[in-house]
Structure 1
């Protein structure tokens, strides 16, 4: 027996508990934690847009604010996506546990265990990357202060390195510099945890969906054996029909699981795609503008944003591509077995599987977007196109 939550999603559980998004957390403290985290993320975006009120609105200021604000909006969307869909996340885990409880033999358990270990490894690597990146950003403005006696860097230089994100708190920013820095670092920590926790949770579900399709392929491979082909008596015919039934059953459940995974977050996925394209375009343009001005620190900040968005988008689309490939592999397996040597009624059952394989079997987000490597290339191309538009408008 496999316990999905404790054996395969224990890392994800810890990350989601840290930001109050674990679906089985129903305490008052958990609700307070969720409200506080969401309020901190939202307030930081608001304080960025308030800079448009107190400063002269120029094209450069608008692009500078929106390039960073859209990235932090990405945090908010991801957080809100799991907050309002807590029941969907819980349902996904329950559905996956229910399917795993129906596995038949040790080889099928081994397949799911292998994919579960892959999910845990991806979560661990993503968490390590997020921790290193977060600490680097937090410690960046502190290192000059630590080595001020060696580097001879004054307080104003420290503040200029720290404040690269335009905000307006309607207070003296020099006087309350460390409080503003604390707010910024808190948002970075919560945001990084949110991206890692929610992203690896969805990635883990996608990897387990691939494992379910692999189990379906394994059952398909076991339909026709040499022993059954040599002796097609009534007992073996019944056994063949049962194996076909179990192969189709696990495949249908895997398809249903992936449909639930997509449909539960469909609106949020479309919003994330839109924001990611806008964010990439604006930050690419920001890199170009700051390169002309020689502002190396701002270039580094925008480059980090671009890297995170591209990496996140690539992993999401790669996961979608893998699900499609594993789904198609089920039909390839059905074609490759010696179905033509099976009894006639068994051939008719296999024929339905082969006919289903002729249809396109892709994930589909609201009929508008199909997660795949081709779609990742399309999103990157769209972002570059919008950057070209911004560039031409400034000429």
Structure 2
């Protein structure tokens, strides 16, 4: 028997438990944890925007603030909107577990295991990437102090943040507290992005496994031995196999649509802020590269916009890739129905196959409003981001 929570969602469970969003353990403590972490994220976003109040706004200054604030806005949206849909996520996991409990043979278990392991490997890879990038992120913030120690410079240098922040206190005196707040917020946001994103990816991977099982059941029901030796018993087995194939295919589409409808508003906001973030950070990279100041302090400012651009690009790609993956797996069910040797089956079975072909004649896609999640849409998002960057560059 397959236990999804312990076998394939264990890494996702650890990440979501860390930020109080694992749907199966919602106690008073996790509610307090959510309020505390959400407040930390939101206040970090606010204090990144408060310099607009106290300082003169130039195009360089506005871009510097918004390039970072847009990423934190993504963190806040992702974290809070997932918490709103946590009951729906719990229900979907229960339904997925029930479907796995009804699998028929070892080949179907092997298919689900393959897709579950793919999701687990992707989660592990993203966690490793985040852990490896964290030291670079921390070193960049203490670069000036480290450089002074290496060069044995005794002159005390004022502390500088990588991005402007206004806490309305003596920032030199409370530098490390402010830095702690910023770093904790960033870690919460990255954990939320990876934890929530990979959980959704794991759901879609399992629905792709269900589509693959539907294809397997059709092939198994319409194998050559059955068709060449048609009798009453074999006809019943063929009908039963096709019915089970249609059933799991219907359940896969139902689960996918249910999940997509639950997160549609979240995904739309992420698309908008993702495009804005990529455009602003591309422009920020351009500003730093073409600045007159060529010192190491200026060069270290490249780290954050490059990191933010990479995170946004990777998230866009993975989101659209899994949408394309679901569409392709549904299409493969249609291809399987078309390729089986239906033409040597009895007429009433041929009619049933024709019904399946008509059912699959339209593509099954993931939608966010009018947008279809696919590799083509990913290319459109990147093109749009570059277009906005070009507009900002031309108006400087």
TM-score tier (shorter): over 0.9
Aligned residue in 1 for 2:340: 337
Residues 360-384 of structure 1: CA distance to partner in whole angstroms, max 9, x if unpaired? 2221122x11111111110000001
1:362 is aligned, of 346, 362, 365, to 365
Residues 163-205 of structure 1: CA distance to partner in whole angstroms, max 9, x if unpaired? 1111100011111111111111111211111111011101111
Task: Tell me how far 1:155 sits from its aligned partner.
Answer: 7.7
Task: Tell me how far 1:32 sits from its aligned partner.
Answer: 0.8
Alignment partners' CA distance in 2, 1:382 and 1:95: 38
Task: Tell me how far 1:147 sits from its aligned partner.
Answer: 7.0
Distance 1:101 1:155, change over 3 A: farther
1:350 is aligned, of 349, 353, 360, to 353
Other structure's SS at 2:22 match: coil
Distance 1:349 1:181, change over 3 A: same
**Bigger Cα displacement from structure 2, 83-92 vs 265-274:** 83-92
5+ long unaligned stretches in structure 1:
none
Other structure's SS at 1:264 match: helix
Aligned residue in 2 for 1:29: 29
Query: With structure 1 as the length reference, what TM-score do the two structures score?
Result: 0.95
- Alignment size in residue pairs: 391
Distance 1:72 1:334, change over 3 A: same
Alignment partners' CA distance in 2, 1:79 and 1:282: 22
Residues 286-338 of structure 1: CA distance to partner in whole angstroms, max 9, x if unpaired? 11111111432222211111111001111111111111111100010000001
Alpha carbons 2:140, 2:303 under 8 Å: kept: no
1:219 is aligned, of 217, 220, 224, to 217
Aligned residue in 2 for 1:380: 382
**Bigger Cα displacement from structure 2, 124-133 vs 58-67:** 58-67
Alignment partners' CA distance in 2, 1:18 and 1:106: 35
Aligned pairs for 1:1-395 (under 5 A) are 1-142=1-142, 145=145, 148-153=148-153, 159-160=159-160, 163-293=161-291, 294=293, 295-366=298-369, 368-394=370-396
5+ long unaligned stretches in structure 2:
none
Runs of 4+ displaced beyond 2 Å? 138-160
Query: With structure 2 as the length reference, what TM-score do the two structures score?
Result: 0.95
Task: Tell me how far 1:149 sits from its aligned partner.
Answer: 4.0
Alignment partners' CA distance in 2, 1:143 and 1:124: 29
Alignment partners' CA distance in 2, 1:77 and 1:241: 47
CA RMSD of aligned residues (A): 1.6
Task: Tell me how far 1:145 sits from its aligned partner.
Answer: 4.3
Residues 101-151 of structure 1: CA distance to partner in whole angstroms, max 9, x if unpaired? 111111001110111111111111111111122233124334664675433
Residues 48-106 of structure 1: CA distance to partner in whole angstroms, max 9, x if unpaired? 11110001122222222111101100110110121111101101211111111111111
Distance 1:203 1:173, change over 3 A: same
Alpha carbons 1:144, 1:158 under 8 Å: kept: no
Alpha carbons 1:145, 1:153 under 8 Å: kept: no
Distance 1:336 1:265, change over 3 A: same
Alpha carbons 1:144, 1:151 under 8 Å: kept: no
Alignment partners' CA distance in 1, 2:355 and 2:155: 73
Alpha carbons 2:140, 2:300 under 8 Å: kept: no
Alpha carbons 1:141, 1:158 under 8 Å: kept: no
Task: Tell me how far 1:347 sits from its aligned partner.
Answer: 1.2
Alignment partners' CA distance in 2, 1:156 and 1:314: 45
